[in-house]
Structure 1
Amino acid sequence: MHLVVICIGRLKQGPERELAERYRERFDDIGRKLGFRGLDVHEIAESRARDAHTRMAEEAASIAALFPEKHVFVALDERGKSLDSASFAQQLGRWRDEGIANTVFTIGGADGLSPELQRNANLRIAFGSATWPHQMVRVMLLEQIYRAATILAGHPYHRA
């Protein structure tokens, strides 16, 4: 299974980008041994439209254009389901074992993901009830993907 993270907004050079890249590289190292075919991160520029509805629609079109043909779609949404790390790992492992070709994670812009995208998600997840900066959400998602791989591998990185 191949993993894809699609984000609205770009990370500038600095500690957030370095940390995000560190977790992506760590996942690549362990993930291949577990049957994962890699992890790609796509950044999409924020829409410049004046109203939120148009911004979300433009961003949704850009996101959907990057969806691989066969995929499971996970939307990061503040109203989504809160999964602990072990449950997140089990879900990724289940999709991998079912032969899902691609799992796509999306992080919306400042206005969030369009309602249509949210409705089409196979799973909506949240990192708690707090509001997080998009840069931090990306780092947390990549860390959780790496942590999921370590859990699936029985690695001691994850200590409950």
Structure 2
Amino acid sequence: MLQIVILMVGKTRTGFIQAGMDLYTKRLVPYGKLSLLSVPEEKPRPGLTPEQIKEREGMRLLARLPKPARIIALEASGQEFNSQEFAQWLSQMEYEAHSPLIFVIGGHLGLSNALVAAANHRLALSRFTFTHELSRLILLEQLYRACTIRAGHPYHY
């Protein structure tokens, strides 16, 4: 059975994004176990550099990772797939991992170097840049699409 955890920084504050996330979370129920986990975002303050913010958020994310896990860091320089390829890759990961697949989405500054280094895979949702909140919704929709492709469901077509 497919086990997926989406680990992210901060809360989803935008209503339409949260509504979309709720929709795809419900749609994914028949395809496996899905958990959404978050860690607090680091608030910017004087004397705190963007790199320090990413490091602090990264430490929180690393501390929250379930063990054992296959860690997939979402970042712009990661591997890109089309939907069919992503469905095949997801099947391969499910077969090989025997542990939850943990998709990690950073805050507005991205992921820390330590977290990226700890990841088993790096995944890019697109060559476009998305907000970290919108990335959550896009990932959930693509996971649902991949599951329907794997199941031969007509949603993809």
- The two structures have a TM-score, normalised by structure 2, of 0.91
Tell me the equivalent position of 1:128. 126
Percent identical among aligned pairs is: 32
Contact 2:4–2:34 (8 Å) recurs in 1: yes
Tell me whether 1:45 sits opposite 2:40 in the alignment.
yes
Residues 9 and 99 of structure 1, relative CA distance in 2, 3 Å threshold: closer
**Structure 1 counterpart SS, 2:5:** strand
Query: Whole-Å Cα distance in 1 between the matches of residues 74 and 126 of structure 2?
Result: 11
Tell me the equivalent position of 2:107. 109
Query: Whole-Å Cα distance in 2 between the matches of residues 15 and 22 of structure 1?
Result: 11
Specify every segment of 5 or more residues in structure 2 that has no aligned partner in the other structure, as ranges. Answer: none
Query: Whole-Å Cα distance in 2 between the matches of residues 73 and 121 of structure 1?
Result: 5
Tell me the equivalent position of 2:28. 27
Runs of 4+ in 1 over 3 A off after TM superposition: none
Residues 83 and 63 of structure 1, relative CA distance in 2, 3 Å threshold: same
Aligned residue pair count? 153
Tell me the equivalent position of 2:75. 77
Deviation digits for residues 37-73 of structure 1 (CA, Å, limit 9, x no counterpart): x111112221125211221111111111221111111
User: What is the one-letter code of the residue matched to 2:118?
Assistant: N
| Match runs of 1:11-26 below 5 Å | 11-12=12-13, 14-26=15-27
Query: Cα RMSD between the aligned structures?
Result: 1.4
User: What is the one-letter code of the residue matched to 2:20?
Assistant: L
Specify every segment of 5 or more residues in structure 1 that has no aligned partner in the other structure, as ranges. Answer: none
- The two structures have a TM-score, normalised by structure 1, of 0.89
Shift of 1:13: 5.9
